[in-house]
Structure 1
């Protein structure tokens, strides 16, 4: 069995490979929402270790999710689109967290003939295949490690049952309706009734049987009946945002036919879709209409959407956006989406020094957010700081597992004139790490 330290180290390496291989969302609101939901659930895991989890949003319409060693959990946007409420989404995330807490993938890794990076990359290949070709992915993850068709089936059923049990517990202790897990399973199974292409990807990588649903329902029913969280305004807005970002034309068509049931969320999604088409003034009008609908918990998101609209389209108004963002910064200090959009607005307003300072403040909270390094690189470049700009781009590529490109960026940074001693030393240390990992990758 891998030690926890080995698992964390492997997880960090595989995380960079996932960033290189999968289309991960960089949308600050979606990323922050899924992270916050995940951390709320992680706070209730039986064995602690809350600080090591990383929650990713994969831009993929397939209804699926995955877990990896070291606390990496990925959620497809397709899953966010199809879940009916926040409790269902939380149920899937809790199930994946349980795979991590019970160290299922780490056990598969240790069961391999070689417990090294090559075995880890084999598991990763299976996870990535699951996202795009699920019938291949499950075999790659489990079949290659456990060996034999029956052994693979038993391994999968046993681990899925254990993840259900722990997941229902996490869900209930986080005050979500535990019945959301069997509800979601039942719906996926009904959708698969036609067989063939009708089978959701989630069922291909997480096999569901009537017995499994019944057992999960029994566990959920064992909890004391009382009011628990089923849905939230944030979830409905974020689901609308996913739909608008992925298919703005469809969202606009649906809005015109009045098919939606949640007027505020529908108008919010309508505004995001209009922004995708550069129709910022119409987006602002849709946001105003959503605000008139009212509702708890949506004011922050509407104000952020207003700032986004002012930064989109041909007639940008970054100074107006900054006034909104400065007010939000006072109400929600260091809330990551506000700060990240504020940095974008500062760049649009040609204030790169303040943008750089803003991004650095965010990086103090999260050193592993690649999109921030790209933003930092742009701000430093606008200031004419070659070394910092290329060092930031090196970090961006490093976190995407592109170690040779990271080395190239660091070499450019080292060639900058009048490089301060402490900065040169820091860049050289990063270069040594990137070179070593590039060589290890060649060996794997």
Structure 2
């Protein structure tokens, strides 16, 4: 999926989250920017954008190395929701995806889908810095920059809006063809298109900073992050994708710095959740040796506020390596100090399961769920532990209920498939696998799986009716999906 995601990123530089937002008074900053507005209704309807977004995210899941770690998904969605909640003119639902790539990049696309590369966590030194990137993407989305770029392209060339949309859809269905079509249609007026992009970037900065302020983050984080990024790659022959799609000339960095000064200064404490998420990405999604060296170096000079996250990261690596004595020495003080912390509960679960102490893990998770019964991290952890000890019936019941409300959670379907398979319910396993196929746009395999499942259950049974109904739904989804690239 690298080629598809890059084609959309390069071609359209992002269609970002959500906010038209009340802005800081330009007169206090000393200059004004054009309010480009949100006009683009004549190009694409919101419903149509949502359809395109759904199609793209399914392909993204199939071809990109997605991170479905419940803790990290929970963190990214909470951060995104906090920012979206501080934005105006939110027209679509939003979802946040994490891709396992060490480079610095973020992009968004139709339907409010925002993708972050895990490398952002390694480079952003604070939660406000990460939030500044997401807020910028939110502003692109609420201003409907992608749809308006298509409209502008259609005005400046013989291309119709429908053909411009078709270029994106070609990129979804066939990356190489999509790139070729996009380049052909964009060739008419390169300079005006560059200027248009720059205007959009400035507007996204302006609104993004306001979203940051409304959400309670440090507005100075945006110019700080941009400046550090620009300095690092100023003379690089191959800058990261983020700089290719979000150019950072000196004037833009200066603009964001000036705008940030228009808001009251904030002195924020260290975000423990951000630092723990950052440590988890280092421990679980980078090289163990390099991560351990980094944790050890940082611990020698880190302030007290950062030490728990560094110790947590080391503990995870020790658990994964089977060094339980070392892991216990690091993890137990953290858990005892914060027994309700999801990162620590999850690590204690891994610690117990790795040593065969499943009953202890299940008891802890059940107690935590009594206090927080709808928490996805706890539900999935408990189901995983139950499957491990053969408690398939309660695990299946829990996962069925959970997946009904979270139908796009890959973890739930993977665990359901395993639980059904191990308990000898083959038709249930096929159905769960079918949902995994559908989430990755593999419609034919999804329909085939449900067809086989339907043949395995008694004629006229509730299961057969359910499976047949799902087959009809999937066929309709496939037809809609196919129609988008025509």
**2:363 equivalent to 1:326:** no
* Structure 2 SS opposite 1:415: helix
CA distance in 2, matches of 1:399, 1:358: 20
Judged with a 3 Å threshold, the aligned counterparts in structure 2 of structure 1 residues 328 and 283 are, in CA distance, closer, same or farther, namely same
Partner of 1:263: 307
Partner of 2:242: 202
Query: What is the deviation of 1:122?
Result: 4.1
Query: What is the deviation of 1:420?
Result: 4.8
8 A Cα contact 1:272 1:283, kept in partner: yes
CA deviations on 1:406-428 (whole Å, 9 max, x unpaired) are 12211221221325544323322
What are the equivalent positions in structure 2 for 1:403-422 lying under 5 Å apart?
Answer: 403-418=443-458, 420-422=460-462
TM-score (norm 1): 0.88
Query: What is the deviation of 1:116?
Result: 8.5
Judged with a 3 Å threshold, the aligned counterparts in structure 2 of structure 1 residues 79 and 384 are, in CA distance, closer, same or farther, namely same
Judged with a 3 Å threshold, the aligned counterparts in structure 2 of structure 1 residues 145 and 88 are, in CA distance, closer, same or farther, namely farther
Partner of 1:285: 329
Query: What is the deviation of 1:141?
Result: 10
**2:62 equivalent to 1:20:** yes
CA deviations on 1:256-289 (whole Å, 9 max, x unpaired) are 4545622211110011122333434532332124
**2:318 equivalent to 1:274:** yes
8 A Cα contact 1:109 1:123, kept in partner: no
Select the residue among 238, 242, 253 that pairs with 2:293: 253
Partner of 1:54: 95
TM-score (norm 2): 0.81
**2:205 equivalent to 1:164:** yes
Query: What is the deviation of 1:239?
Result: 0.2
CA distance in 1, matches of 2:180, 2:95: 23
* Further displaced range: 233-242 or 272-281: 272-281
Query: What is the deviation of 1:341?
Result: 0.9
Judged with a 3 Å threshold, the aligned counterparts in structure 2 of structure 1 residues 189 and 143 are, in CA distance, closer, same or farther, namely farther
* Structure 1 SS opposite 2:116: strand
CA distance in 1, matches of 2:221, 2:430: 47
What are the equivalent positions in structure 2 for 1:294-309 lying under 5 Å apart?
Answer: 294=337, 299-309=341-351
8 A Cα contact 2:150 2:165, kept in partner: no
Judged with a 3 Å threshold, the aligned counterparts in structure 2 of structure 1 residues 385 and 24 are, in CA distance, closer, same or farther, namely same
CA deviations on 1:371-398 (whole Å, 9 max, x unpaired) are 2112112222233222222111111110
What are the equivalent positions in structure 2 for 1:156-235 lying under 5 Å apart?
Answer: 156-197=197-238, 199-227=239-267, 229=268, 231-235=270-274
8 A Cα contact 1:54 1:73, kept in partner: yes
Query: What is the deviation of 1:11?
Result: 1.2
Q: Bigger radius of gyration, 1 or 2? A: 2
8 A Cα contact 2:342 2:377, kept in partner: no
8 A Cα contact 1:83 1:89, kept in partner: yes
Partner of 1:132: none
8 A Cα contact 1:191 1:200, kept in partner: no
* Structure 2 SS opposite 1:48: coil
8 A Cα contact 1:88 1:180, kept in partner: yes
Partner of 1:120: 168
* Structure 2 SS opposite 1:70: helix
Gaps of 5+ in 2: 1-42
CA distance in 2, matches of 1:264, 1:141: 51
CA distance in 2, matches of 1:58, 1:177: 25
Q: How many residues align?
A: 428
Judged with a 3 Å threshold, the aligned counterparts in structure 2 of structure 1 residues 162 and 298 are, in CA distance, closer, same or farther, namely farther
Partner of 1:242: 281
CA distance in 1, matches of 2:233, 2:432: 46
* Structure 2 SS opposite 1:418: coil
CA deviations on 1:269-326 (whole Å, 9 max, x unpaired) are 011122333434532332124457x5x79833212211122223xx322211111111
Deviating above 6 A after TM superposition, structure 1's stretches of 4 or more consecutive aligned residues are: 139-142
Partner of 1:41: 83
Partner of 1:133: none
* Structure 1 SS opposite 2:407: coil
8 A Cα contact 1:14 1:124, kept in partner: yes
Partner of 2:104: 63
Judged with a 3 Å threshold, the aligned counterparts in structure 2 of structure 1 residues 416 and 319 are, in CA distance, closer, same or farther, namely same
8 A Cα contact 1:322 1:345, kept in partner: yes
* Structure 2 SS opposite 1:26: coil
Query: What is the deviation of 1:437?
Result: 4.9
CA distance in 2, matches of 1:381, 1:194: 55
RMSD: 2.8
Partner of 1:104: 145
Gaps of 5+ in 1: 130-136
